[in-house]
Amino acid sequence: MEPIKIEGTPKTPTVRFDSSAGVFEIRGRSIPENSVEFYKPIVDWLDSYKENPLPKTIVNIRLEYFNTSSSKCILDVFKKLEAIHKAKNDVEVHWYYEEDDEDMLEAGEDYESIIRVPFKMIEIVE
Amino acid sequence: MGFNIESYLPDRTKNNIIFFYKGNVDSDVINQILDEVEYKMIQENDRSKLRKKVYNVLVESLQNLYHHVDKVPEDYEDQTSEKFGILLVKKVDKGYKIITGNFIKADNVEKLEEKIKKINQSSCEEIRELYKFILNHQKISEKGGGGLGLVDIARKTGNKLIYTFKEYNDKYSFFYLDILVSEEN
């Protein structure tokens, strides 16, 4: 599978999904007006990855900002991960938040309560 | 006498205005506003927690305009803006005020007002549950909005949404949303 490598912009995150690495990452800012357009290739990629995933997949989410439009697309990404996990593969989401950013921590907890995949909340201390 | 949208701004004293914009709200304009306000907040030495809240609320309020404004009435002075809106950002004691304004068709007023009232009647916990419910159950609309913008603003600020509708004519009103982002919440 061709890996996904998207460079970040002021409104869209850096994305690294590589099926040979087992550690995926979304980092930066995710505040585009049209987030569906941005996230569709990632969701589609996960659909293919689901057919033949690694025994263990870690997904790092390290966002500084995300808008409500992205929040739905991130949920779609997590739903794909949930399906992979349900098929008896090891999947973990590592949700990063800066130490004073309670909003970002709460957002991670919201996803954790909706999605049946183990989450690890990781505080970034400066 | 014309309808002067600026004269009805809830808080239009000239003091401590960080930013004012009136016109078309497209993607490039949103980028410029976000850059400029972020830069000014860094200059003001605001704590990163407040800065992040303001930035988040600004993104949602501008993108609410981008996704949801109704087109301007046929006799309004600005006919070139496809997504016409206004924005005022002010520094206030312990925080910022973000005020937006846009035209809304008279037929859509009731629905929007009901939505705001529902949010304002909810506790912080109820707003969080509402957010999660919409996140999990509502599809992104044709306009591209997720239906979460106002809920997110109320949740992040912890404050009630203050709003006014000023009647422009029998078909249109102008909607003002007055958001307080303060350090405490």
Residues of A in contact with B25 (CB under 8 A): none
> Given this model, what pLDDT does residue B144 score?
58
Q: Say if residue B142's pLDDT is above 70.
A: no
The pTM of the full predicted model, rounded to 2 decimals, is 0.94
Q: Predicted ipTM?
A: 0.94
Contacts of A10 (CB under 8 A, 6+ apart): A29, B31, B34, B35
- Homologous superfamily of B5-182: Histidine kinase-like ATPase, C-terminal domain (3.30.565.10)
| A120 in contact with chain B, both atoms CB, cutoff 8 A | no
Q: How many domains does chain A have?
A: 1
User: How close B109 gets to chain A, by Cα (Å)?
Assistant: 23
The string of pLDDT tens digits covering residues A85-113 is: 999 999 999 999 999 899 999 999 999 99
| Nearest-by-Cβ selection for B140 from A72, A101, A103 | A72
CATH number of the domain that A19 lies in?
3.30.750
**More confident of the two residues A29 and B7:** A29
CB-CB contact of A35 with A67 (8 Å): yes
> Given this model, what pLDDT does residue A70 score?
95
Share of chain A above pLDDT 70, in %: 100
> Given this model, what pLDDT does residue A100 score?
87
User: How close A34 gets to chain B, by Cα (Å)?
Assistant: 7
- Do B156 and A72 lie within an 8 Å CB cutoff? no
Residue of B nearest to A100 (CA): B49
- For chain B, which residues make up each domain, given as ranges? 5-182
Helix, strand, coil abundance in chain A, percent, nearest 5: 35, 35, 30
CB-CB contact of B56 with A65 (8 Å): yes
Q: Which of A39, A68, A125 to mutate to test the interface with B (most CBs of B within 10 A)?
A: A68
Q: Within a 13 Å sphere around the CA of A32, how many CA atoms are in the beta-carbon half?
A: 15
Give residue A97's domain range.
4-124
